[in-house]
Structures are given as structure tokens and as C-alpha cells.
Amino acid sequence: MKNNAVEVWEKCLKIVKDNIHFQSYKTWFAPIKPLKLEENVLTIQVPSQFFYEWLEEHYIDLLKKTITKELGPDGRLEYSIIMDSSFNNANPFSIKVPTSNIKAINNPPVQMPIDINRGFSKEIPNPFIIPGLKKIKVNSQLVETYSFDNFIEGDCNRLARSAGFAVAENPGKTSFNPLLIYSDVGLGKTHLAHAIGIHTKNNYPEKIVLYVSTEQFIVQFVDSVRNNNQNDFVHFYQMIDVLIIDDVQFLSGKEKTQDVFFHIFNHLHQNSKQLILTSDKPPVKLKGMEPRLLSRFKWGLAADLQPPDLETRIAILQKRLYNDGIIISEEVIEYIAYNVNTNVRELEGALISILAQSSLNKKAITIDLAKKMIDKFVKSTSREISIDYIQKVVCDYFSMSIDAINSKTRKREIVQARQLAMYFAKKHTKSSLATIGLHCGNKDHATVLHACRTINNLVETDKQFRIYVEEIDKKIKM
């Protein structure tokens, strides 16, 4: 049966590879070993308890579908977890799928004014309807972990979070309707959208809340056209009290889908139902949208999410570690936060890589381990050096606090450190002089220009000072 287990698992891995990023596959699936296959139960060996919990939390749906495809509807998956050497006498811990503790957030039953047996096509079933029932339960599709409690507030997201919280407190009754949240990838749009939905459900259990990606919406509409039941599709969405549409930019160029969404939007808005949209661009930059739909996106509030500042990045890492019950040193947390500054997704990805490396190799999480992993991670994500990081390196070099160089003091050593931070910021970042000045004690662009000239003059005339500059430059580029 061992050979059969290997063969089945290899087929499963082919499906997994097609559905996740290669780096995720390498980290979370490559180390798994198939042990046995008995009576449609495939047993796989994973390196640790942490490893098992990560698979269950993030890949349970993919694993279920894969096992069902290869072993049929009765197929099951069991884990055998490798214990530490101190537990050699213990039996391997096994557990059956499904085991995820994350529960679906369901809406109350509602009466459907349509023939539910017609619903959506058999090829792509409507994920929100349980066929064969007079009353229909609508699964909100909300992820419990994406709550306001787990959304770290900072200057980068305060407006959007505050508006989202106000909407969740009083959906459809505020001036933020629709609420459009926009940002680059990985900055928390989806998390905030889920948080609004979860908080609304907690406040108003009787309301029907639905989170749906734009891609899901499009697939369902196309399917309804093919089966000639567009009215059923429209009626379903018109029942929703709080509709959350993620990545609305994917409606671009799809005229018929935009047309039906326009009518759904109008119906919900006119009946004081809440609409929450997310996009990777502000409304004015959305291309391929009908003007009448685009104008409605501008009716409420468009709030953006910016890349998190240093303090927010540290808080995000601390919160994630606290939730997972993991303790690592502040030095490691700060190192990750200083070096990964593009977005929240990559920040958490770097942390996960370090935790996985520690778990798989049974190594303590030290600054050396963090540096090795971050060096690989940063290269793969083309990290840009930030002003915050430069200030940190300069302050560490001269053993002073960041608050000191941002203060108004005129002490010679602090002024010189501030000038060095400005000099390296101009050299290593694409920031304007005004932006650099704002980050370095709220100075104007003329002060930054003067600082750069002063440092250049000292480098040319003072040998010891030139050594300082070269050493700091090497630390910044490490």
C-alpha cells in the first residue's frame, strides 16, 4: 500500500502546485511524506504540530478537494506528526480531515421568491444556496480571523478603519454608502472588508451579510445567462442587506456584468442597504467602467490604505505572534519590521518563513536566523531601503534614539546624525527632498539640500568622517 500512497500523493501534489505559489508549495508541501493508504484513508507525515496547524488553517479546502478528486467522496486524509526526540516513546499523533476550527459565519434563513431547484448550473453550483430547501441559508463567506481586533490601526489606515467601523455600527444609514476601500496589493483591503462584515453580523444578527469576490460574481452571472435565469441571480443579490464586493476593478471591460451590477447597486442603495467595495485603484483611475456605474462608486466615501509605517509594522508582527502564542525577541521583530516594508502580506510572509525554518530544523529564532531568511526573502521581493530603516542604522551607529534626531535640538552630534540620515535617504531612496525632510524632524527641502552638501564636504575633507560614512553605508546595504 506504500507505493499506492506515494502515487496518490504525487497526483495530489500536481493539483496543489497548480493552485498555490511555488514558494508556498516548497515550504508547506515539499517536506510532507506519504506513509500509507488504507480503505481510502491517506496518511501523510508532517514535521511538527505547528506545520500541521498551518496546513489546517490555510490549505484545508484545497486538501479536501484534492483528496476527494483522487480518492472519491469517501476519501479521507490523516496526519502523522513527528514528535521531538524527548517524546520517542509516544505514538504519532493522528487526526482526520475535516478538522479546521474556523467556522462559517451563516446568515439567517430567508424566503426565496424563485424556484430554487433551477438556481445555478450544475457545473458551477451557487455557493450561497442549499438546494432543496424552501428557506435558504446564505453563507456570508466571512473569515473569522479577519476581525477588527486583528486589524492593527495606524496613520496608514486610520480613515478607512474608522469609516469601516462606523458602517458596521450602522449599515446603510451613514453617508459612507458605498464605502470604497482602495490600495495596492497586500495592505489589508480584504481584511478590513471582512472585519466590517463580521462586526455587522455581531451587531445585527438578523441582517444578511455577504462577502463575494468580483470573480465569483462574474462566474455566477455568466452561468445564469447560460441557463437563462438572470432574474434568479438578480433577485438573490437584491435580498442582501450588506454586500461586500472584493476587487471591483475586475469588472473592467465586462459591459453586461456591469449592467446587471448597476441595477443591483441601485436597488440596494435605494433601499438603504450597505455596499462595501474594494479596489486596487481610486475611482478616478478605474478604466473600462461605465460612467453611470463609476459615478455611483463616488457617491459615498473612497478611503485608501497606505503602506504601514515602522511602528505599525512592529505592532502587526507582535499581534500575529501573540495570536499564535509564539514568543521571539524584540530584536528579531524589529529586524523584520525594518527590512520588510513593502506591504503587510510580505511582512507576514517573512515572519512565516522564519517560523517555518525554526520549526522544520528545530532551531531557536535568533537574529542570525532572521537575517539569513530575510536576506533570501528580501532578494525575492526586491526590497527598497526606507527612510525609517536608514534612521535606525544611523541611530544605532551613534547609540542614540530616533526621537533625538527628529527633535529640535541643535547639539552638534545630533545635528550631524540627522544630516547623515538625510544624506543617505537621498542616496538610497527615491523620496523627494520634501518627503525626506518631513521624515527627518519635519524639515523643509532646503534643509535637506544643505545637509547633503555639508556631508559631501566633510567626506572630501575629513578622513575619519569619511570612514564613518563608509561604515554606515555598508550597514544600510547589508
Last residue of a domain, which of 249, 271, 304? 304
In whole angstroms, what is the distance from residue 66 CA to residue 17 CA?
A: 11
Q: Which residue has the higher pLDDT, 193 or 59?
A: 193
Same domain for 361 and 433?
no
| Separation between Cα atoms, residue 128 and residue 382, nearest integer Å | 40
**DSSP string computed for 98-123:** P---PPP-BPPPEE-SS-TTTSS-SS
Mean pLDDT of 135-159: 80
Q: What is the pLDDT of residue 129?
A: 45
How far is it, in rounded angstroms, from Cα 427 to Cα 222?
Answer: 52
User: Has residue 128 been placed in a domain?
Assistant: yes
Question: Do the beta carbons of residue 177 and residue 300 sit within 8 Å?
Answer: yes
What is the per-residue pLDDT for 381?
Answer: 44
User: pLDDT category, 376, cuts 50, 70, 90?
Assistant: low
Half-sphere exposure (CA, 13 Å, Cβ side) for 380?
Answer: 13
Tens of pLDDT, residues 399-455: 888 888 888 888 888 898 999 999 998 888 878 888 888 888 888 888 998 999 999
Expressed as residue numbers, the domain containing 293 is 110-304
Domain-ending residue, one of 380, 398, 426: 380
pLDDT for res 137:
55
Q: Return phi, psi of residue 226, to 5°.
A: -65, -30
Task: Say if residue 411 is in the same domain as residue 440.
Answer: yes
- The CATH number of residue 75's host domain is 3.30.300.180
CA distance 40 to 22: 28
Same domain, 237 and 166: yes
Provide mean pLDDT across the span 282-296.
87
pLDDT digits (tens, 9 = 90+) for 77-118: 888 876 543 334 444 444 444 433 444 455 555 444 333 333
Residues 354 and 400 in one domain: no
pLDDT value of residue 278: 94
> Is 92 part of a structural domain of the chain?
no
Please tell me the total count of domains within the chain. 4
Interatomic CA distance for residues 432 and 162, integer angstroms: 30
**How much is the pLDDT for 92?**
44
pLDDT category of residue 384 using cuts at 50, 70 and 90: low
426 and 364 co-located in one domain? no
Kindly state whether residues 168 and 300 are assigned to the same domain. Answer: yes
For position 47, what pLDDT does the model report?
77
Please check whether residue 24 lies inside any domain of the structure: yes
Average pLDDT, rounded, for the chain: 80
Q: Supply the pLDDT for residue 116.
A: 31
Domain shared by 132 and 29, yes or no = no
> What's the CA gap between 323 and 328, in Å, rounded?
13
Q: How many Å is the Cα radius of gyration of the chain?
A: 27
76 has pLDDT over 50: yes
Tell me, what's the pLDDT at 135? 41
Say if 96 falls within a structural domain.
no
Cα separation, 62 vs 34, in Å, equals 17
- Residue whose C-alpha cell is 521531538: 84
Instruction: Report yes or no on 95 lying in a domain.
Output: no
The burial of 245, by beta-carbon neighbours within 10 Å (0-12 exposed, 13-18 middle, 19 or more buried), is given as buried
Q: Which residues pair with 81 in a beta bridge?
A: 46, 93
Q: Using a pLDDT cut of 90, give the percent of the chain over it.
A: 13
Cis preceding linkage at 131, omega within 30:
no
Last residue of a domain, one of 40, 56, 87: 87
Of 289-303, 345-359, 413-427, give the lowest mean pLDDT range. Answer: 345-359
Is residue 334 domain-shared with residue 352, that is, in the same domain?
yes
Nearest to 360 by CA among 117, 69, 90, 26: 26
Type of residue numbered 464: Q
Nearest alpha-carbon partner for 309 in 422, 153, 443: 153
Of 221 and 106, more confident: 221
**Is 105 part of any domain?**
no
pLDDT at 83: 52
φ, ψ (nearest 5 deg) of residue 219: -60, -45
Q: Do 200 and 183 belong together in one domain?
A: yes
Mean pLDDT, range 11-30, rounded to an integer: 82
- Read off the pTM: 0.56
Please tell me which of 2-6, 71-75, 197-201, 226-230 the model is most confident about, judged by mean pLDDT.
Answer: 197-201
Count of alpha carbons within 13 angstroms of residue 164, beta-carbon side = 31
Looking at the fold, whether 395 and 362 belong to one and the same domain comes out as no
Same-domain status, 345 and 396: no
Most confident of 114-123, 204-213, 329-338, 434-443: 204-213
| More confident: 87 or 166 | 166
pLDDT at residue 132, rounded to an integer: 36
Answer yes or no: is 100 within a domain.
Answer: no
Instruction: Work out the pLDDT band at 198, boundaries 50, 70, 90.
Output: very high
What pLDDT was estimated at residue 402? 83
| pLDDT value of residue 122 | 36
Which pLDDT score, from 0 to 100, does residue 89 have?
43
Question: Whose CA is closest to 81, among 58, 59, 102, 50?
Answer: 50
Domain of 282, CATH number, reads: 3.40.50.300
Residue 261 — very low, low, confident or very high, per pLDDT cuts 50/70/90? very high
Q: What does the pLDDT read at residue 59?
A: 82
- 144 and 217: one domain? yes
**Which are the contacts of 172, defined by CB distance < 8 A and separation ≥ 6?**
241, 242, 272, 273, 274
| 36-74 pLDDT per residue, tens | 888 888 888 887 776 777 787 778 888 888 888 888 888
More confident residue, 50 or 12: 12
Q: Are 198 and 226 in contact (CB under 8 A)?
A: no
pLDDT of residue 2: 56
CATH classification at residue 403: 1.10.1750.10
